[in-house]
Amino acid sequence: MELDVILFVLRIASAIALLAFVGAVFIVLLRDYRRTIDQTQAYRRQYGRLISLTTIEGHLLETGQSYALLPLTSMGRSPTNAVVIADDFASSEHALIALRNNQWWLEDRNSRNGTSLNGERIDGPIIITHGDVIGIGNYGFRLELE
């Protein structure tokens, strides 16, 4: 009779251990799922916008188009970019705007004709702020941050 009681207690203990393990795995998966949802929502969140400008007789005028500013916004002629630029002077992957350490950075992606910031050509990654105008080919994009 004692052996039956010991086996019964061991079965109950192993069942409780198995349930505890399954519960721990469920909690870890739930936390990971929530973290992924938060990261996805942060990526989809708009941080501002880019207002499209075009050069007409030496002056930049608004075209009426605006593009959402995401933590990683690519610009260029290729349709895979977040901001597609229909200009022969734009490279397929021309420039990149990225949010790094709570600052916005503009980076030229080794384009043939270069990228300008407020009328001056940039050589490397540079910090950008609200109101800056990014120049690519015959187009400009005014940065409006929220």
* Per-residue model confidence as pLDDT tens digits over 6-45: 999 999 999 999 999 999 999 999 999 999 988 777 666 6
DSSP character string of 59-102: EEEEEEEEEE--SEEEEESSTTSSEE---TTS-TT-EEEEEETT
pLDDT tens column, 65-96: 888 888 889 999 999 999 998 888 889 999 99
Q: How far is CA 2 from CA 7, 13, 15, 16, 82, in A?
A: 9, 17, 20, 21, 72
pLDDT at 41: 75
pLDDT tens digits for range 119-139: 899 988 999 999 999 999 888
To the question of pTM greater than 0.85 for the whole model, the response is no
